[in-house]
Structure 1
Amino acid sequence: MGIIQGNIPNNIKLFSEGKRRALERYTNGYQTLANQRVQAVLTPEGALPFFLNELKRKSFYLAILDKGVVTWVGAYGERGRAYTNSLFSIIGTGETFSRYDKVKLVPLGEYIPFEQVLGSIINRLSPLKANLVAGEPNQLFETPFGRAIVGICYESAFAQHFQRQAAAGGQFILTASNNAHYSKAMPAQHHAQDVMRAIETDRWAVRATNTGYSGIVNPHGRTLWISRINTYDVHTHTVYRRHTQTLYVRWGDWLTPMLLVSIITGISIRYVNLDDWLSK
């Protein structure tokens, strides 16, 4: 597996200089990794800020046709008159093998809560003019290597999102994030969330971010590689597909309700016993 961390600042990312820099860095990174004979390359969330049809006319897409290595590309998808924050699986022939649309959108950053009421008061933080829409919550992401578990950005905070995909046969985790707009503490917390998702599902996790921290996490939660912050980086690592089903994957959040019931039962019994003792 190859990872590219493009390190494109958010303040230029969606403008001409940012797009030029993204095409240059991700194309060069892809070619470097392909020459190292990786089987697949993962890019971050919104790595190439183009709609897929636009991307097919760019240097990155031509590099895929030239090298023939599968890539998971963070770009924008079209859905009617709206657009999606998506991860595309593109095979060596240039065909789109599969697509995942981000489900958990960021309030104010990607959508306005109660938009009919607040839309005229709160300006959308994204400079994109079209309307961003969420993906369907029951998506499954097929790849040439088997079914993957996918999370974009802060979907890593939603354990059930990963549990559902693992229960449906997901064999490894791919997370794509930006993180460029936060201090160093937040990317570290984000990495820790993916560590937990790897442990819960007993899966290898591959993380590609724009500015850090990208990383490789094994099913025991051990970070085998982590990038530096605010740097351009490419990395290769071997990851493995797994088919195990942990108790959490099988049954979901059964432990917390069980502990809650046990605590309430224990307190109730203690209260009844105390009441009996006082009455005597």
Structure 2
Amino acid sequence: MMKSAALALRSGIQLWSWERAGLVVFSGLVVTLALPPWSLWSLAWLGLVPLWWVVQATQPGLAAVYGLLWGLVYYGISLAWITHLHPLMWMGVPWLSSVAIAIFAWIFIVFWGAACIAVWGTAIAWATRHWPDQRLWLVLAGTALWCALEALRNQTPLDWSPLGLTQSPSNLWILHLTRLSGPSAITAILVATNGLLAIAIPCPFPSFPLPALRRRRVGLIALALVMAGHLVGASLFATTAAAPARAALTLGLIQGDVPTREKLTPQGVNQALQRYTDGYRALAEQGATAVITPEGALPQLWNPNSPQIAALLQTVSQVGVPLWLGTFAPEPGAEHTEYTQSLLEIRSDGQYHGRYDKVQLVPLGEYIPFEAVLGRLIKRLSPLGSYLVPGQPGQSFITSVGQGIVGICYESAYSRLFRRQAKAGGEFIVTASNNDPYPVWMMVQHHGFDVLRAVESDRWALRVTNTGLSGLVDNHGRTIWLGQPQTYLTHSATLERRQTLTPYLRWGDWLTPLLLGLTLVLGWRGAD
């Protein structure tokens, strides 16, 4: 049986095929449309089927090319907002260099994501050639490997557009699966469902043949998996414990809307100071227990003696409401003066108490990786005269109104950073971002990440940005309020402080190693 299956499979293997390349491109486009801002989330449940077809009927080397092609489409489109780094002429960068920096940043991160899909395609093609009749095991192996590659990529400085983002912010029941094992739960059910459908739906080119009855059975398994996932998610949604009434908290946010190209000038600094001072006073009068500003609200090194910061400290002293200020603070205990991207809670005594330092710095923006090679080619894009240093992963943001969970900028894509803080006692999420000069559709993607973080941790999330989208999300992922982009605004938001520990908060991503273990055990048994 195995020999005949292998011969049938090899009969469908050929060199480069434009038909198969077209299917791969189509697959990448379809799954991309499931991402925000399009949010056609249902497309992700069958958009990977053509990719499964192609890599399983292709030699491993060519499967890598098809996998890379899929990744170039998916990541290339979903990350095209990076090119909005251009223009940088206001920083003294020549026009041509500005274009080169933006394109280089885009291509680099796109290829980084696409390389993972190339590895996945190679592995699945190789496994199919060795075990062509173990189709269900191949689905398990493909699911485990995709989850593992996403988990590994999330340990690196560059990550965006995981498959789980295709379901956010709309498919709330499936989002609740993240409470079990984090983002891997969504990735696993999407990849597995597509793999099963690739078996159930006849392939348009020669491949491993299956009887019609078995295809129908596999199709029913796929349908059962989708239904079970939604039912489990709905159950988690319905059984969430309510927070006590005394846990309510009112926080004010200020969306300054001062573009980076302006706020790095003396006039921009004064404009930012005026807007944040006025907004702070207004929100304090409305009864906010604390007021929050975006990432880098005052683009200056923290120095209480500087005129702008001294004026802000005086205002806080007069009003008495804590201010959570996004700024650049000296690293505590450093032998040399090094700075972190920080959120500081300033109280009426003129001192900062709660503090969170950004852990996941932005490559090229806040530091230059491989500086010996790239340092001469790329100018740093931060407003500082020296590179930023990352904060420590085990931080706790303890404030006058409770212990918070903080993410700065694109840390929203790194669930592990939020999990650590929630497990350590964090009661609510605050994300502070700049988001300038990026377009609104990037802001929608960023909002989708915050929805994921809120659901998986069973916490309310308040999103504070410079240019948008600021918003409030409850612990079920429902957007309670969303501000207008590229507009100066203030908002007073009431949210819950919660202390529940979801299975994901307790045990982390246990699903990925379980899937990998099952793949090895069942593969070993099948080889006997």
1:228-258 Cα shifts (integer Å, max 9, x gaps):
1100010011112111000000001112332
1:106 maps to amino acid: V
2:416 maps to amino acid: Q
Per the normalisation by structure 2, the TM-score is 0.50
Of the candidates 317, 320, 334, which is equivalent to residue 65 of structure 1? 317
- Say if 1:56 and 1:62, in contact at 8 Å, map to a contact too: no
1:223 maps to amino acid: T
2:481 paired with 1:225: yes
**SS of equivalent residue, structure 2 residue 295:** coil
Instruction: Identify which range, 93-102 or 3-12, moves more after superposition.
Output: 93-102
1:95 maps to amino acid: Q
Of the candidates 170, 186, 198, which is equivalent to residue 442 of structure 2? 186
**SS of equivalent residue, structure 1 residue 100:** strand
2:260 maps to amino acid: N
Q: Structure 2, unaligned stretches of length 5 or more?
A: 1-250
- Counterpart for residue 407 of structure 2: 151
- Counterpart for residue 204 of structure 1: 460
> How far apart in 2 are the matches of 1:56 and 1:69?
18
2:276 paired with 1:20: no
Distance 1:51 1:242, change over 3 A: same
1:71 maps to amino acid: L
* C-alpha deviation, 1:265, in angstroms: 5.0
> How far apart in 2 are the matches of 1:139 and 1:98?
10
Runs of 4+ in structure 1 deviating by more than 6 angstroms, as ranges, are none
1:85 maps to amino acid: Q
* C-alpha deviation, 1:196, in angstroms: 0.5
Of the candidates 283, 289, 297, which is equivalent to residue 47 of structure 1? 297
From the two aligned structures, give the one with the greater strand fraction: 1
Instruction: Identify which range, 150-159 or 44-53, moves more after superposition.
Output: 44-53
**Structure 1 segment 96-111 matched on structure 2, within 5 A:** 96-111=352-367
* C-alpha deviation, 1:61, in angstroms: 2.1
2:429 maps to amino acid: I
- Counterpart for residue 38 of structure 1: 288
2:256 paired with 1:6: yes
From the two aligned structures, give the one with the greater helix fraction: 2
2:326 paired with 1:74: yes
- Counterpart for residue 131 of structure 2: none
> How far apart in 2 are the matches of 1:184 and 1:267?
46
1:98 maps to amino acid: G
Instruction: Tell which has more relative contact order, 1 or 2 (C-alpha 8 A, sep 6+).
Output: 1
> How far apart in 2 are the matches of 1:241 and 1:205?
10
2:266 maps to amino acid: S
> How far apart in 2 are the matches of 1:184 and 1:56?
30
Instruction: Identify which range, 118-127 or 103-112, moves more after superposition.
Output: 118-127
Q: Structure 1, unaligned stretches of length 5 or more?
A: 276-280
- Say if 1:64 and 1:92, in contact at 8 Å, map to a contact too: yes
Percentage of pairs with the same residue: 52
Per the normalisation by structure 1, the TM-score is 0.91
Of the candidates 174, 185, 188, which is equivalent to residue 430 of structure 2? 174
- Counterpart for residue 92 of structure 2: none
- Say if 1:27 and 1:59, in contact at 8 Å, map to a contact too: no
2:388 paired with 1:132: yes
1:169 maps to amino acid: G
- Say if 2:289 and 2:401, in contact at 8 Å, map to a contact too: no
1:132-155 Cα shifts (integer Å, max 9, x gaps):
111112211111122211110001
* C-alpha deviation, 1:10, in angstroms: 1.4
Larger Rg: 2
2:499 maps to amino acid: H
Aligned length: 272
Instruction: Identify which range, 217-226 or 133-142, moves more after superposition.
Output: 133-142
